[in-house]
Structure 1
Amino acid sequence: MKTGPVKLAVALLLAGATTGCSGSVPNACPAIAWFNSLTVSLDGAVGQVSLVEFCAESVCSVRADGPVRDPATSVSPGAVPAPATTLAVTAAPAPPGRPYSPFTVARVDDRTWQVSLMMQSPTTATIRAYSADGNVLARREVELRWTRVGGSEACGGPETAGPVRLVL
């Protein structure tokens, strides 16, 4: 009887087709990067403030008009390589006067500043407000509590904290 191999083949096909139907398939995480955000609210003589700085984990923010990603690598110039070769990658220097930081700060209005944090949610931070001549107008150490506003528990996603009040 030659039905043995046919039954075995059908059984294997059915087993393969139903694999994963038990609910044990791992979740796919579609987001590969995101920014967390923190709002800083100023009280007092806000007209004197020219810059708000956010520092955490020994790193301080750059202005929002600075680099928003790490300019660590760039593709070397030249012709497109043959399919069997690889592009050479070399280090690219940060723009002069603008060091890299995963934190950026942007003015929303006279009293509100928005901090963007590249996939980081530090628990403590220092926030400073500076005048145009570089004097510190206010400084505050804060503990931050983050709330996820997107993504999932399994995959992570964007979070928000604040607002943090800074009195001048």
Structure 2
Amino acid sequence: MKRLSVPLLLILAISTAGCATPGVCPAIGWSNSATVVLDGPVDGVAKVQFCPDGICSVTPQPSTAPKSTVAPGVSAIPGQADTAAPATPGPPVGDPNYSPYSGKKIDDRTWQFSTPMSAPKKATVRAMAASGEVLAEREVDLTWTRVGGSEQCGGPSTAGPITLAL
């Protein structure tokens, strides 16, 4: 049987050291998501808000800026098509209109909201007309179910679906 050299043993020991260390979590972040489903006539609904802790979500609007400065037919990233317009960024942290929560319309009845690294216990959900009129509003208790990561380190969770009757 051959003997392993000291440098090789050292490399193996260093490369596997993190695997045997209990209690160490990767330095990553995640977003939790909550889904709101509208029940009733949705024709007048322009926006749905998700408001935990008195701070309401923002819904990024598609940018009206050009999609790309790359020549037509050429992708900025080789092998990937340039098809999506960038979203207009929300207000910066510290701005009174800032919100860590964002939402997007999935279809006429379904909206999905992101809560980065937080799992609020309660929220108010509301459907609004284009004029800003509140069409329906409800306070809900949120129950989160982890869908990734681990019990020890945490990970992304989901809440809902939350039904909002119109």
Asked whether 1:32 is paired with 2:28, we answer yes
TM-score (norm 2): 0.67
Q: Could you tell me which residue of structure 1 aligns to residue 137 of structure 2? A: 139
The aligned runs of 1:54-65 (5 Å cut-off) are 54-65=50-61
Report if the CA contact (8 A) 1:53-1:62 is conserved. Answer: yes
Q: Could you tell me which residue of structure 2 aligns to residue 109 of structure 1? A: 107
Report if the CA contact (8 A) 1:31-1:157 is conserved. Answer: no
Q: Classify the secondary structure of the residue corresponding to 1:57.
A: helix
TM-score (norm 1): 0.67
Corresponding letter in the other structure for 1:56: P
Q: Could you tell me which residue of structure 2 aligns to residue 42 of structure 1? A: 38
Deviation at 1:64, TM superposition (A): 3.2
Q: Could you tell me which residue of structure 2 aligns to residue 82 of structure 1? A: none
Q: Could you tell me which residue of structure 2 aligns to residue 124 of structure 1? A: 122
Q: How far, CA to CA, are the matches of 1:64 and 1:160 in structure 2?
A: 21
- How many percent of aligned residue pairs carry the same amino acid? 54
Q: How far, CA to CA, are the matches of 1:165 and 1:31 in structure 2?
A: 35
Provide, for residues 4-36 of structure 1, a one-character-per-residue CA deviation record: whole Å limited to 9, x for no partner. xxxxxxxxxxxxx7xx99x98333322521110
Check 1:45–1:105 CA distance in 2 against 1; reply closer, same or farther (3 A cut).
Answer: same
Report if the CA contact (8 A) 1:67-1:100 is conserved. Answer: no
Q: How far, CA to CA, are the matches of 1:32 and 1:67 in structure 2?
A: 22
Report if the CA contact (8 A) 1:56-1:126 is conserved. Answer: yes
Check 1:132–1:147 CA distance in 2 against 1; reply closer, same or farther (3 A cut).
Answer: same
Q: Classify the secondary structure of the residue corresponding to 2:43.
A: helix
Q: Classify the secondary structure of the residue corresponding to 1:110.
A: coil
Which of the residues 43, 46, 52 maps onto 2:48?
A: 52
**Structure 1 segments unaligned to the other structure (5+ residues):** 1-16, 73-92
Deviation at 1:120, TM superposition (A): 0.9
- Bigger-Rg structure (1/2): 1
| Structure with the higher strand share, 1 or 2 | 1
Runs of 4+ residues over 3 Å off in structure 1: 64-68
